[in-house]
Structure 1
Amino acid sequence: MGAQFHGEWTWTMFDDAHFHSSRGTSFIGAQFHGKWTFFDRAQFHGERTSFGRAKFHGKQTSFEDAQFHSKWASFEDAQFHGEWASFKAAQFHGEWASFEDAQFHSKRASFKAAQFHGEWASFKAAQFHGEWASFKAAQFHAKRTSFQNPLAWSHVYFDWDPRPPYAPITEKPDSVLPEAWPPTVQDT
């Protein structure tokens, strides 16, 4: 089990933090129980950055404007609870960004204006359970971005999704999978 951050009024703040290590930064299995957890404008460097199996239980979790320069940035099996999980304007510059098997139980999840670069970004088998999850103005520059086989897909919005009575803002990039949109929820 990873580090645990507790407290009824706890603000776990890593705003503007710079994480530098040749091997990387690990919050694997960390549990954040305070009301607010912020990594806004944080920068991550090194071989890998991992929040794998981390659990965010607070009211708000934010990685707004965070920059991930690690070759590998992982939120695999991470769980987001509470009212808000935000990756607004976050930038993933490494070879691989993974949210595989991540669970978004928060009421709202935002990847508004997030940027995905590198070889691969994956949300394979992710779960979106909240009132809405937005990828408005997100940029998918990675060679491949996968949203294949989600385990839950509730009110997930992209610029290419039509929202009545409006038409889509843009077309889905060819690099975003699956080709047939929206993804089909995988039976468990």
Structure 2
Amino acid sequence: MYGIDILVKEHDAILRMAEVMRKASLHVMNGGELVVADFDAMVDFVRNYADKHHHKKEENLLFDFMVKELGKIGTNLVTHGMLVEHDLGRLHMSELEQALRAYEIDDTNADAKLDIIVNTTAYTYLIRRHALKENEVVFTFGEKNLKKESLAIIDEQTKLLEEEGEREGIQSKYLGILQRLEEKYN
């Protein structure tokens, strides 16, 4: 199914960024320079590629159909599972950004430095588990149980959103950021 294939492909990129985030945090923890611009780029990637671009397709398409069509199981899986984790990821990015701004004001602020490392790595643990659950459980459940007509709409709408993203340069911009940071921190 095209829509789910795209979501899984995007998870691959998001998980690659999670690995970069972990390596950058380890670099800082081991005494390396904390480059605020790199961590800002990670926040930008998570907010605009993972959240706005990727989650838009999950939340507004696939999950919406699952809640409407799959009863209590669909509602619980989405509302009390996946959406809670999406919000937790947003919290980690908000806390990370606040810590980055505090570190910019005072780069000797050990609390800010700790909060940068903690929120960056906490996000990596969250997103690894989250993507695995979606890829192996949620997407499979949706694909097996949603109406064929709904799956066709999800595919069609995903294609339109992907084309819109390409016109706006979303994929190329954020995959470029990912590649640059991978080269730096690998």
TM-score, with structure 1 as normaliser: 0.18
Greater relative contact order (Cα < 8 A, sep 6+): 2
More strand by share: 1
Larger radius of gyration: 2
TM-score, with structure 2 as normaliser: 0.18
